[in-house]
Each structure stands twice: as structure tokens, then as C-alpha cells.
Amino acid sequence: MNDDPQASRRPPEPTAPATPEPGEPPTPEPPARAPRRPRDSAIRAALITGGFGLAPLLLGFLGLSAAVTPPTVDTPTHTVTATITQTVPPSPDTTRTPGPSSSPSTTTEPPSAGWLRTWQGRVTLVSTFTDFDGIPPAHGLSDVKALGFVDGVYLKATEPGDFAKVTPSASPPTADSCLSLIDATNDRTNRLPVVKGDRVCLRTNIGRIVLLDIQDTIVRGEDNSSATAEVTVWTGSATRS
């Protein structure tokens, strides 16, 4: 038994090739063993091999992403401009003096002491007398009638001095002012020319007072002419029955 420990660790001594016998072919030597690859070369080879294996997977993943993600579509945008006009009413001018009202004015008749208005309306005077002593007025034998002449229409009273024309610029007459105007008239005629807009005061046979406000006149000869008037009739305490 070999007790030398170093002897077991020594490599075996190379054996010299055997010398062939005369007449025998030489024994071929065994092929030399290929040298070992270094360790880092093996690692690089593994990485390259793994890289080639991952390449198809990456290409497949990218292709799947391209298939799933929809293409981006450029949507045209339209700009709409809206113009809003607001009309603001002007503020009222409080410094101006207000004009006259458009509502119809009402003329208040001044009171006449002792007189009562007994009738009011429209009457067309013709060549026949109209009697204002009856209520309502009617054609009769007295008071006033309308006749035509060359220049227009005139009124004819039963008695001279029983009517008078009111001054155009005067205020609307009352029964008292009409009576005073008739009594003050010096013209004792019983004919009075009239046109549209004239006002005439008349005293009847029994003492009533009549105001004729002429609205229109029509000339058709002496007996076919007419005068239309708004009429007010008053009855007083001195009126005879």
C-alpha cells in the first residue's frame, strides 16, 4: 500500500506509444479533444439564442396592439359664430313736458240757474218748420226751418228777433248766455245764413231756449236744401206750457 498522499494526486505519466511490430501498420492516434469554450462565450451564446426566441413574441405582441388599437381619425372641427343682438328700450325722458292726452276730451256744460236740459240730439232742418216745443222735436208750424238760396243755406224763424249767431271764438253757451245774446240782438230779421261750424241760439214760441250747432249744410234749391245740427233744448221756470 502506497502511503504517500501526494502520489494519489499526481497525474498519470503519459504512456509512450507502442512501437508496432514489424509488418503491422502503425496504430492511429486518437483525435485531439476540442478545447473547452470559455464560460462567458457560453453565456453570450445563450443570450443570443434567447433573443432570437423572444423576437417572434415581440413582433406578435406589437402586431396585436396595432390590430386592437383603432386608427386615429382626424375629425374636422367647425367654428360656429353666433351674433346675439339685444335691443334695450330707451329710458323715458323725465325732463320733457308730457304732451296732450290722446283720450277724447269731455266738454262739461256749465250749469244754468233755473234751466233744465230737456232734450239733446241731432236734427236735420228742412224747408218745413221744426217745432222744438215738443219733446222730441218734430215738424210743425213754428220755430225754425232751413231754406236754400244762391249762396248757401239760411235759417228762417217764425218770429223776427228770436235767434242770434254765437261768436265763433266764444265758449259753449249756456241757456242764460243764449237768452242774453238773443235779447241783445238789434237785428230784427228772421233770416240767418249758416255754414258748417256756426252756432245759433233760438227762442221758441213758449220760451224754451235751443242751441243749434251746425254740422253740415246741403244746397239743392230753395225748398230742397237742408242743415244738420247737434241740438240742445232747455226748459226754464218762465217757459209757458
Q: What is the pTM of this model?
A: 0.54
DSSP string, 172-220: PP-HHHHHHHHHH-----SEEEE-TT-EEEEE-TTS-EEEEEEEEEE-S
Q: Is residue 131 part of a domain?
A: yes
Q: Is residue 199 part of a domain?
A: yes
Q: Is residue 77 part of a domain?
A: no
Q: Is residue 215 part of a domain?
A: yes
Q: What is the mean pLDDT of each run of 10 residues along the chain (241 residues)?
A: 53 54 56 53 52 50 46 49 46 42 38 85 97 94 90 92 91 95 85 96 96 97 95 93 78
pLDDT 10s digits, 166-224 = 999 889 999 999 999 999 987 778 899 999 999 999 999 999 999 999 999 999 998 99
Which range marks the domain in which residue 217 is found?
Answer: 115-235
Q: Is residue 53 part of a domain?
A: no
**Domain tally, the chain:** 1
Q: Is residue 152 part of a domain?
A: yes
Q: Is residue 81 part of a domain?
A: no
Q: Is residue 139 part of a domain?
A: yes
